[in-house]
Amino acid sequence: MPGASFKYGMPLLCAAWPPGDALCIGGGGGATSSGITNRLVFAEFKDGDLSDQQDELKFDKDKLPLRCALHPTTNNLLVALGHGGMKLIKWEFESDKREASKKQVQDVDAFSQLEEVSCMAFSKDGKLLCAGFERGSFVVWEWPEMKQRARCREDAEDFSSLKDIDIYCDGDACTLATTTENGRCEIWDVGSKKLGTWLDKLKAGLKAPRFGHCKFSSPGLGPRVLYTTANSGLGAHICAWRVSSCQDAVMVRKAKIFSEPCSAFSISDNGSMLAAGCSNGTVAVYASASLLPLRLVPNAHMIFVTGITFKQPSREAGHKTDDCGVLSISADASARVTLVKPMNDVLLRLSIYWPFALLLILMLVYVAYQLSRQQPLLPEDKQEL
């Protein structure tokens, strides 16, 4: 099976894979006396092999790299650290100058007085950055100016830590989704800074669902869809919600993906594929339009998957790739690359609209069946002649 795995000697917590062969993985021992250094590891996936670390960036004992977000159009990597703080790393992803670019590290002042970041994401165009915090609030900034656009949930009643966050922008209108540690999924209007709705009050067809992750589809490719993971007594599911407005979200399909809880989730750059990691170490990739499995790798890791991400496509015009890479990481110190055949633009658009085509075909079959059951047009006596 295509793919490769390597162990990096520390629990892994965050990962990013920009265009090219180079990738970044972060983790460490935290503030404990384990002797495991907190660091970012830079490695390569080339010719089917995941390399040992080729470079590293070390952090202080109380600065464990917990989360990272890769800017979609520039070589900027944001790394959120334990006990607060944020590092901006300008890394030349598609070159071999990692030693020089490693020194281009700076603090992000906007996070200096803020609490620990629990989740963060860039908008698809890279113009906005959103981050959720341990005490339940979230902030949206304009990037790279870091001008604050919105700050919400500061007076949240439950004060539950945010678990995941994503943002969808259609022009100046932006919709933001969050999930919390207590299993709630909310949809916000960034412009008005108001809560539109929350999914746990809607009938998802699941028994006491606890929403874990949320990812929006890509703008410009079909209707706005929010993909969530939901863990319940019936296992882990992916739910697809048609979000026509911040106040209106309707579940259009769902699929069971694991018998055990889902622990990691991601969406490809063009929105055609979803990747999920399980608490038992399994990794799976699904077509977003149908929620049908494309790849399933049981026991990809020994224990629960802590993070999963797709390789960003090349930013060079006209560049095509034969395989789409999925990078998964685990607390067992292992990273794994799983390769999946990408969907071309035609298949992607067909996959988005196939439910409507199927409905039309079923309607035509039904009409034809009803017509076939009608009485013949000629009277019975004339038919006997």
Residue 383's pLDDT is: 45
How far is CA 108 from each of CA 62, 81, 113, 156, rounded to the nearest angstrom? 17, 11, 10, 26
**Poorest-pLDDT segment among 58-72, 96-110, 212-226, 354-368:** 96-110
**Phi, psi of 98, rounded to the nearest 5 degrees:** -65, -35
Is 382 part of any domain? no
Provide the residue range defining the domain that includes 232. 3-346
Residue 354 reports pLDDT greater than 80: no
Give pLDDT tens digits for 13-36. Answer: 999 999 989 999 999 998 876 789
299 burial level (CB within 10 Å; 0-12, 13-18, 19+): exposed
Quote the number of domains for the chain.
1
The average pLDDT across 98-108 equals: 67
Residue 345's pLDDT is: 46
> Cβ distance 95 to 102 under 8 Å?
no
Write the CATH number for 277.
2.130.10.10
The two structure tokens encoding residue 185 = 């999924």
Give pLDDT tens digits for 223-243. Answer: 899 999 999 988 999 999 999
Q: What global pTM score does this model have?
A: 0.86
Residue 346's pLDDT is: 42
Of 93, 50, 68, 20, the C-alpha closest to 334 is: 50
Residue 316 reports pLDDT greater than 90: no
Please give the order of strands across the beta sheet that includes 3-7: 3-7, 334-340, 324-330, 305-310
Number of DSSP helices (H) and strands (E) in the chain, helices first:
3, 29
Is 378 part of any domain? no
Is 13 part of any domain? yes
Is 69 part of any domain? yes
- Give the separation between CA 40 and CA 28, rounded to whole angstroms: 9
- Give the separation between CA 209 and CA 123, rounded to whole angstroms: 27
Is 368 part of any domain? no
